[in-house]
Amino acid sequence: MSAEVVGSNPYSRLMALKRMGIVNNYEKIREFSVAIVGVGGVGSVAAEMLTRCGIGRLLLYDYDTVELANMNRLFFRPEQAGLSKTDAAVQTLTSINPDVVLEGYKLNITTVEGFGSFMESLARPFKEKSSASPSGVDLVLSCVDNYEARMVVNQACNELGQTWIESGVSEDAVSGHIQLLIPGETACFACAPPLVRLSRFSIPCIHAWLQVVASGIDERTLKREGVCAASLPTTMGIVAGLLVQSTLKYLLEFGQVSRYLGYSALKDFFPTMEMKPNTQCTNAACVERQHEYVKKKPERDALARAKAEADRAVQDVAPLHEDNEWNITVMDDDDDDKDVFLDAQTTPNSQILPEGFLRELPDADDAFRKLDEAFVGGAAAQDNDLEELERQLQALNSD
């Protein structure tokens, strides 16, 4: 991944993040592996963004096919109708950036067989894999559109101890959210009661959905003929952008990653919140991850203190202002030499006063007096010159 600023380098503008100090090591993105579950309105756009950013590997999961009804969204094209969404995505993304390793899995993760294949593929290591990940991928992005699939992703990530980010768009297409889930550290998808969970998605008819969750009815059987959820490419694009932005911040370790970030299009409202894990969660793997997290807390605190001390030490020895290509120098307010520096830039060396001496401004009356003297002296000198010229003319006439 080159940082050379030329028109033929697809990464030059991305590498500028490193030159500007936003990211310490942007090249590291080539080591990361990200799984995207659901290649629909949000997932497909997120996949394209990560591909353009130069991610190392993308794993794409979906069992559906491309339809003309999907054309109101971004990414897919009419000629891809009939293809599986994963095949169509791999086709498009390969043409955008052949450097990215792409793996498409056409499977339904909510089935027993599909779940087994899902778990197996997530655990499979990447040759350039970052050592920080507990599984074969560094992050899982959930872009599915139903509760059942979200619970399956939640189960898989809890079992693997895998960090993931859940996303969703409301049925009326005017709100959405993303949520970072770290097993043991944050609430998993099963920790919160259904009322809190579903109301956060802005799903209409909340009481009907509560009955669905409580009774275990298959959501797919509730679809009415000729009725479908609304879909706005704007809302999905915004949610996908927030999702990938958080992904980059999490992987490349810059900025702050919100644990939950909502979006309401009608009011341009972006709520944030954080949910702690439920110690009585019904998901056994979640409870197990919580116990592991508590056990490792002293070790994490010690590492955090050591890192903070190392950062302070670097700041103490680092120069206040490094050289830059524009030769701009910034002085601190408490710099004792600031006044002398400014004087040296605007005053000739012969007029710089020694330390401890002050130059007083002239009195106004004195300034006017000197001006008058200069004017009178100049006029007198001019009169003398005229008298001398007159004498010379008279001498010539007398001759």
- DSSP letters, 166-235, are EEEE-TTSSEEEEEEE-BTTB--TTTS-HHHHHHHTT-SSHHHHHHHHHHT--GGGGPPTT------HHH
| Pair (345, 305) in one structural domain | no
Model-level pTM greater than 0.85? no
| Pair (65, 159) in one structural domain | yes
| Pair (57, 193) in one structural domain | yes
Place of tokens 């903070």: 308
Strands 175-181 and 260-264: antiparallel
Q: Which of 309, 324, 356 is the last residue of a domain?
A: 309
Q: Would you please indicate which residues are annotated as catalytic (active-site) residues?
A: 228
Residues spanned by the domain of 169: 32-309
Instruction: Specify the amino acid at residue 243.
Output: L
The answer as to whether 316 is a domain residue is no
Q: Which of 309, 343, 362 is the last residue of a domain?
A: 309
What is the full per-residue pLDDT of the chain (399 aa) written as tens digits? 677 777 778 888 888 888 888 998 899 999 999 999 999 999 999 999 999 999 999 999 999 999 888 888 888 899 999 999 999 999 999 999 999 999 999 999 999 999 999 999 999 888 765 555 677 899 999 999 898 999 999 999 999 999 999 999 988 889 999 999 999 999 998 987 554 444 444 433 333 333 444 445 455 554 555 545 778 899 999 999 999 999 999 999 999 999 999 999 999 999 998 889 999 999 999 999 999 999 988 888 888 888 888 877 776 665 555 565 665 666 666 555 545 444 445 555 555 555 555 555 555 566 556 656 666 565 566 666 777 777 877 777 766
Instruction: Specify the amino acid at residue 221.
Output: T
The answer as to whether 3 is a domain residue is no
Query: What residues have CB less than 8 Å from 66, skipping those under 6 apart?
Result: 76, 80, 81, 82, 83, 84, 85, 88
Q: Which of 274, 309, 344 is the last residue of a domain?
A: 309
Number of domains the chain contains: 2
| Pair (104, 239) in one structural domain | yes
> Which CATH number characterizes residue 53's domain?
3.40.50.720
| Pair (337, 305) in one structural domain | no
> Contact 138/252 with Cβ under 8 angstroms?
no
The answer as to whether 317 is a domain residue is no
